[in-house]
Amino acid sequence: MSEIEIPDIVIRRLPLYARELGLLAGEGRDFISSQELGHRLGVTPAQIRKDLSYFGRFGKRGRGYEVLGLRERLRSILGLNGRVKEMVLVGVGQLGRAVLGYGGFRLGGFEVVRVFDSDPNQIGRKVDNHQVDDVATLPEYLQKTRVSMGIVAVPAEAAPSVIDTLVDGGVRAILSYAPVTMSVPHGVRLRQIDPVMELESMAYYLEEPFDGYIEDHQADVTTN
Amino acid sequence: MSEIEIPDIVIRRLPLYARELGLLAGEGRDFISSQELGHRLGVTPAQIRKDLSYFGRFGKRGRGYEVLGLRERLRSILGLNGRVKEMVLVGVGQLGRAVLGYGGFRLGGFEVVRVFDSDPNQIGRKVDNHQVDDVATLPEYLQKTRVSMGIVAVPAEAAPSVIDTLVDGGVRAILSYAPVTMSVPHGVRLRQIDPVMELESMAYYLEEPFDGYIEDHQADVTTN
DNA sequence: CACTGTGAACTTATTCACAGCT
DNA sequence: AGCTGTGAATAAGTTCACAGTG
């Protein structure tokens, strides 16, 4: 229970559990079983119990899990119970603006604290209460402030250099919307959101035959 | 090689391969080995060869893969070589607008053909060359046109009903930006993009201790 | 000769099944 | 009685290693 490496795939499910527990709390639920939670999430009860067992024993036998208590434990495990996580945002095009305007980050305990762009037309402007700074000043900003998370919302061509700058500046977790593959040093997490790739892979299941074949691919619900 | 079920995880990597092959073609490369392609993508060469072997034999021994040829095969396998894939978009808030404005869909062979919202202030307005229709008219529109893909960019509360409407209307592949878990019938693919969950799971690796513990989680590059 | 294509070996992830609490 | 927590069993996914081939 103590010195095994916890699989990333397990870590990635924790936010899902935490989110659903938040909803349950909102519905006034005090306790929930792995059975019912799994049913709501499309996950097996055994999966949930096994995942949680990596971190400790949070349930009460015969009763299930205390909804708010477990949610707090999960957020604590994820490191989300301290102060708000500060992020820099690079790129204030349409997508960057949507990121800034999206309330979900704030609610989740994340906050964009500084915004950068390379477009002279944007630099100096105010977008959603944030002064847009020249991306050229990003390195010095990172040096001063040690922000550990970043969001990249720049065009593909610009992304590699932006990501390098973030990494060099000590940013350890990067969420990129740019469709480019890059490798980053050990210890840095880079995750990409690429809606086009999602659509492309889903297209496979739309029974269009490929070339001459007519095959029947059918598969199950995937909630990512 | 012929009647085995192809794992979804393999399908999901095909767009990644196709994308990189497109870049290679742009660089003027004619052939590439699984070795080099894997290196560029952070994937093992064996993985690439194994993935491709589900669909046929596309390589030339001693030479590697013909860049443009393989790209076309992959796009064909995914069903992306026919005409443009038409999609409906539900929700034209900030996020929906970003989706509409994003050129990547167009380039990938996807096109938003109709836009819906429930907000009376939006309905009837023109957004990025699209007339915004009342979401109440979505069912009849789907009945008429049999669009098979949809993008959901509405708030979480509205998402379940929108998704149900899409499913009932015959939409078989749905990309949702709303942070809600839903189950859909067999044969329908629902994929969610949830940046907050990505950030939350990455936060785990930012060496914030959880409660009293100080542990050392370090893991490798993850490009989704 | 440098590569692919692929069974076999291995590793990782999921599910089972049941002992043990409450 | 009804649940959790968890080793053991199974399934899924990845990598190895090498025969085969242009």
List pLDDT tens digits, range A110-169: 999 999 999 999 999 999 999 999 999 999 999 999 999 999 999 999 999 999 999 999
Query: In strand C, which positions have an atom below 7 A from any protein CB?
Result: 1-7, 12-17, 20-22
Q: How long a stretch of residues is chain A? A: 224
Query: In strand D, which positions have an atom below 7 A from any protein CB?
Result: 1-7, 12-17, 20-22
* Least confident among A157-161, A213-217, B142-146, B189-193: A213-217
Q: Are strands A59-60 and A173-176 parallel, antiparallel or unpaired?
A: unpaired
Distance between CA atoms of A24 and A70, rounded to whole angstroms?
A: 11
- Smallest Cα distance from B213 to chain A, Å: 10
Mean pLDDT of A192-213: 84
Mean pLDDT of A43-60: 98
Answer whether A47 touches B (CB < 8 Å).
Answer: no
Q: How far is CA B145 from CA A9, A29, A88, B118, B136, in A?
A: 39, 43, 43, 20, 16
Give the number of A-B residue pairs with CB atoms closer than 8 Å.
237
Partnered with residue B131 across adjacent β-strands are B126
Partnered with residue A110 across adjacent β-strands are A85
- Residue B223: per-residue pLDDT: 41
Question: Is the predicted pLDDT of residue B66 greater than 80, yes or no?
Answer: yes
Question: Is the predicted pLDDT of residue A217 greater than 80, yes or no?
Answer: no
Across chain B, mean pLDDT equals: 93
Whether the Cβ atoms of residue B94 and residue A102 lie closer than 8 Å to each other? yes
Question: Is the predicted pLDDT of residue A2 greater than 90, yes or no?
Answer: no
Q: Is B157 exposed, middle or buried (0-12, 13-18, 19+ CB in 10 A)?
A: exposed
DSSP 8-state symbol, A192 = E
Q: What's at B201, amino acid-wise?
A: S
* Least confident among A54-58, A211-215, B113-117: A211-215
Quote the tokens at residue B49.
Answer: 């060869």
Share of chain A above pLDDT 70, in %: 91
Is the CB of B60 within 7 Å of strand C? yes
DSSP 8-state symbol, A83 = S
- Smallest Cα distance from A27 to chain B, Å: 14
- Residue A116: per-residue pLDDT: 98
- Residue A208: per-residue pLDDT: 59
Is A66 strand, coil or helix?
strand
Q: How far apart are the first and last CA of chain B?
A: 28
Residue A58 confidence class, pLDDT cut points 50, 70, 90: very high
Residue A222 confidence class, pLDDT cut points 50, 70, 90: very low
Contact residues for A193 (Cβ-Cβ < 8 A; gap 6+): A175, A176, A177, B193, B195, B198, B224
- Residue B207: per-residue pLDDT: 78
- Residue B4: per-residue pLDDT: 57
Closest C-alpha among A61, A62, A48, A60 to residue A18: A48
Mean pLDDT of B81-102: 97
Question: Is the predicted pLDDT of residue B213 greater than 60, yes or no?
Answer: no
Distance between CA atoms of B99 and A139, rounded to whole angstroms?
A: 30
- Residue A209: per-residue pLDDT: 53
- Smallest Cα distance from B61 to chain A, Å: 24
Distance A62 CA to C22 C1' (A): 7
Q: Which is higher by pLDDT, B68 or B4? A: B68
Q: What is the DSSP string of B113-171?
A: EEEEES-TTTTT-EETTEEEEEGGGHHHHHHHH---EEEE-S-TTTHHHHHHHHHHTT-
Q: Are strands A85-90 and A59-60 parallel, antiparallel or unpaired?
A: unpaired
Distance between CA atoms of B85 and A140, rounded to whole angstroms?
A: 45
Across chain A, mean pLDDT equals: 93
- Residue B2: per-residue pLDDT: 40
* Least confident among A1-10, A94-103, A213-222, B101-110: A213-222
Distance B7 CA to D12 C1' (A): 9
Answer whether A210 touches B (CB < 8 Å).
Answer: yes
Residue B21 confidence class, pLDDT cut points 50, 70, 90: very high
Mean pLDDT of B108-133: 97
Mean pLDDT of B178-201: 97
Question: Is the predicted pLDDT of residue A40 greater than 60, yes or no?
Answer: yes
Mean pLDDT of B151-168: 98
